[in-house]
Structure 1
Amino acid sequence: MIRISIDAMGGDHGPEVILQGLLRVAERRPDARFQIFGHEDAVLPLLEQLPRLKEISNFIHSEVAVRMDDKPSQALRQGRWKSSMWKAIEAVKSGEADACVSAGNTGALMAMSKFCLRTMADIERPAIAAIWPTLRGESIVLDVGATIGADAQQLVDFAILGAAMANALFDIEQPTVGLLNVGVEEIKGQEEVKEAGRMLREANLETMHYHGFVEGDDIGKGTVDVVVTEGFSGNIALKTAEGTARQIAEYLRAALGRTLLARLGYLLAREAFESLREKMDVRKTNGGVFLGLKGIVVKSHGAADEEGFAAAVELAYEMVRSGVFEKTRSTLDIYHARRPVALAGAASNA
């Protein structure tokens, strides 16, 4: 059984959407079990109406709910030990759950996760990794919002974390990794990015293939399996892609309903349009994984509906099932055993 702890008080739509999402996961993943944390007045009446979900869940009352506008420091100070978010994370630390999922305040979730679970050895800052649909299938992009600004070593750490995730989730023995840059030429970009490139080349890890620099359009092309950047540019790229998908969907909807001939064309090509809508559905890729922690935490979009939240929970499920944590630890051990050599090589090339 794969046990997932749930913060039922996070998100924009309340516990009802979260519980309905869990019910969808239960139907598709029969070996999933849930620990649900929330206020009994808000959650229990809804859970009573879902006997299938109640049967495979354990509910734990929490007095406090972290608000979406709470500052991380405020949430950490006031919500520790009492909030549904903290208790869901703590269940991972204690071994009562294999992963945690919350749609709540991102900053608060990251602060609590770092404080409760701590980062892996030699990892200074965790990263948020997102699954990105591409022309070739799927890739992983990180960081998409946890670390604003990153030095060369942190970018290298992100590359290692992302490669381990791609190895586990996509079953790729040696994932290709690229550093997001303003051009593919080695002379372009910020010094931190160029330094990280030199360090990755020098490390020459068997667990990944360092491709070099990639540009923004390479993300959608699927040029590499893992795209590495710092959180400011990564978050902008993510929000831009989500907004563009919704924009194109609106354009298509308006165009197909404009004339009788257009509506007829839609009916004739309905299967193709349904396939396109499926590929552009941002709900299918909802969920950002906090990589680099001593435990698995997945952040769902706060505005996610039932299917979107279910996707985030299923991502946590797959992270556990595929052994991402163990593979990440193994890859980090290999790299840091070689780190002095990598740093020396990078310094000589500087």
Structure 2
Amino acid sequence: MRIAVDAMGGDKAPQEIVKGSVLAAQQVPDAEIILVGDENRIKHELCLGGTIPKNITIHHAAQIVGMEDPATHSIRQKINSSITQSVELVAKRKADAIVSAGHTGATVAAAMLHMKTLKGIRRPGIAISLPTLHGSCLIIDAGANISCKPLHLYQYGIMASTVCKHLMNIENPKVGLLNIGEEDAKGNDLVRETFSLLSNAHLNFIGNIESREIFDGKADVVVCEGFVGNVILKFAEGMAKNLLTTIKAESMNRFWAKLGLLLCKPVFQSIKTKMDFAEYGGVPLLGINGICIICHGRSDARTIQNAIKAALKLTKTEINEYIISELEKSNTLTAEVA
């Protein structure tokens, strides 16, 4: 299997991206990793690391999409950027998946333009896993699409439920719709119309859930529009970091609290690991005709290493084939609301 890695994307590129790719190449020697970006800079980083794994190759791309660049404009004007070139490798079947910590909007736009969406899918969605009391929960969408229609959210539910079944081994995933209340009549027009669609789907739809219920594990999948999902993601990330920091700071002021903190250190380390995005590597952009893993902009070597492993796992699982199969079951409903 071949993984195209956007070597110039992210706050710590290309240093950490190249390091992470080398770690992954050493750990999975039967996979080919294609580093896409400025050839001279990539070679320089590879040489600093010592022995270069034989399963790493370089695909030169002279341009870089900056975080400040408009997404659609950048992929059309910077056709030789590391993001566009990585996506094109997958589109041309010269790679099986792409991993990028670069501009999320540009990655999504490039994937839609070159890789296209799966048959029947209107908009792709980013599915991110959040830890809960009883395991984890998939939130979709976490930022790929902020101008949603009910059909988009309906298809998000199908795609995320399929991932839960085949990657998380949940036989009958519970699907909830994020809303401001549990009552059917709550929410705006988008949420109410989506509720109607999901109620008639072949999914295990449990109705509306409130954001405070996400971490209770009430649902295995939570469906929402990208704007809301991205806000939840970043709020949860900031809250988790702040909470752990506050507990540590408060404990330092009292002897017995400091002792208790020391005794509970393994517990807090376990919690920190569950909340650390580096452990998960990256998140999949579902609905694209290929595998696309989007990483945090602050990704380090360990994050990239885990993201490449996630891309390999999704490729082996052939998750897109399962998604297409599930979509075919809902063809009638999809046609009615199209």
Provide the TM-score with structure 2 as the length reference: 0.93
Aligned counterparts of 1:53 and 1:96: Cα–Cα separation in 2: 21
- Structure 1 pair 149/47, CA: closer, same or farther in 2 (3 Å)? same
Aligned counterparts of 2:125 and 2:35: Cα–Cα separation in 1: 25
- Structure 1 pair 212/310, CA: closer, same or farther in 2 (3 Å)? same
Deviates more, 1:167-176 or 1:325-334: 167-176
Map of 2:78 onto structure 1 = 79
Aligned counterparts of 1:210 and 1:51: Cα–Cα separation in 2: 52
Map of 1:187 onto structure 2 = 185
Residue number among 169, 172, 175 corresponding to 1:174 in the alignment: 172
1:107-122, aligned counterparts within 5 Å? 107-122=105-120
| In the alignment, structure 1 residue 236 sits paired with structure 2 residue 231 | yes
Secondary structure (helix, strand or coil) at the match of 1:167 reads helix
Map of 1:158 onto structure 2 = 156
Q: Deviation of residue 68 (structure 1)?
A: 1.6
Secondary structure (helix, strand or coil) at the match of 2:322 reads helix
Amino acid at match of 1:297: C
Aligned counterparts of 1:168 and 1:266: Cα–Cα separation in 2: 39
Contact 1:22 1:53 in 2 (8 A): no
- Structure 1 pair 7/234, CA: closer, same or farther in 2 (3 Å)? same
Residue number among 103, 120, 126 corresponding to 2:124 in the alignment: 126
Map of 1:281 onto structure 2 = 276
Map of 2:331 onto structure 1 = 336
Map of 1:216 onto structure 2 = 211
1:317-328, aligned counterparts within 5 Å? 317-328=312-323
Map of 2:58 onto structure 1 = 59
Amino acid at match of 2:234: K
Q: Deviation of residue 122 (structure 1)?
A: 2.1
| In the alignment, structure 1 residue 305 sits paired with structure 2 residue 314 | no
Q: Deviation of residue 220 (structure 1)?
A: 1.2
Secondary structure (helix, strand or coil) at the match of 1:11 reads coil
Map of 1:200 onto structure 2 = 198
Aligned counterparts of 2:28 and 2:135: Cα–Cα separation in 1: 23
- Structure 1 pair 257/311, CA: closer, same or farther in 2 (3 Å)? farther
Aligned counterparts of 1:305 and 1:258: Cα–Cα separation in 2: 33
- Structure 1 pair 104/343, CA: closer, same or farther in 2 (3 Å)? closer
For structure 1, list consecutive stretches of 5 or more residues without a partner in the other structure.
Answer: 345-350
For structure 2, list consecutive stretches of 5 or more residues without a partner in the other structure.
Answer: none
Map of 1:96 onto structure 2 = 94
Amino acid at match of 2:179: N
Contact 2:281 2:308 in 1 (8 A): no
How far does the alpha carbon of each residue in 1:231-254 deviate from its partner, in whole angstroms, 9 at most, with x for none? 111111111000101101211221
Aligned counterparts of 2:164 and 2:78: Cα–Cα separation in 1: 34
Q: Deviation of residue 52 (structure 1)?
A: 5.7
Aligned counterparts of 1:163 and 1:195: Cα–Cα separation in 2: 19
Aligned counterparts of 2:150 and 2:263: Cα–Cα separation in 1: 53
Q: Deviation of residue 35 (structure 1)?
A: 0.9
Map of 1:348 onto structure 2 = none
| In the alignment, structure 1 residue 5 sits paired with structure 2 residue 21 | no
Deviates more, 1:130-139 or 1:29-38: 29-38
Contact 2:125 2:285 in 1 (8 A): yes
Map of 2:263 onto structure 1 = 268
Secondary structure (helix, strand or coil) at the match of 1:173 reads coil
Aligned counterparts of 2:54 and 2:272: Cα–Cα separation in 1: 34
Identity of aligned residues (%): 34
Q: Deviation of residue 103 (structure 1)?
A: 0.8
Aligned length: 338
Provide the TM-score with structure 1 as the length reference: 0.90
Contact 2:25 2:56 in 1 (8 A): no
Secondary structure (helix, strand or coil) at the match of 1:55 reads coil
Contact 1:245 1:282 in 2 (8 A): no
Q: Deviation of residue 73 (structure 1)?
A: 2.7
